Amino acid sequence: MYEDEMLSLVSAEEVAHQSTRPLGYKIQNGKVSPITSTEDLGAEFQKDRVVASTSVSIYPKVGVSTVFLVIDHGFDDGPPVLWETMIFGGVLDGACERYASEADAREGHARLVAEAERVLEKGPTYA
């Protein structure tokens, strides 16, 4: 590879400095705060980030989980999208919603639990 073709490697901190978004976010004292170092980002991923987890059915096994994502999944100029609810198992496996607030995430969790229960009531064909 020619020297002028080599890519320049930059640190995550340099990329974040060039971007308008921080590396990630953490919840501190009930408020969302930006993360500006890779060390803090790594530490945040080690924490328990589950907001809610509900087992809808044992057989077939169907569950709904809501988590704090740490990294913004909004990918636009809007508010950071930091929470996600997903259904695991059954015909709705993989159904996912994302939110910009914990309150919306908790409401979305309840809504997806109700939807999973509604589908399971139709019988084993829909599980």
Q: What is the pLDDT of residues 59-103, one digit of tens each?
A: 778 999 999 999 999 988 889 999 999 999 989 999 999 999 999
Domain boundaries, given as residue ranges, for the chain = 1-47, 48-127
Q: 104: Cβ–Cβ under 8 A, 6 or more apart, which residues? A: 83
- Tell me the residue ranges of DSSP E strands in 1-127: 24-28, 31-35, 50-57, 62-68, 83-88, 96-99
Is residue 34 within 8 A of residue 20, CB to CB? The reply is no
Confidence of residue 58 (pLDDT cuts 50, 70, 90): confident
For residue range 96-123, list pLDDT tens digits in order: 999 999 999 999 999 999 999 999 888 7
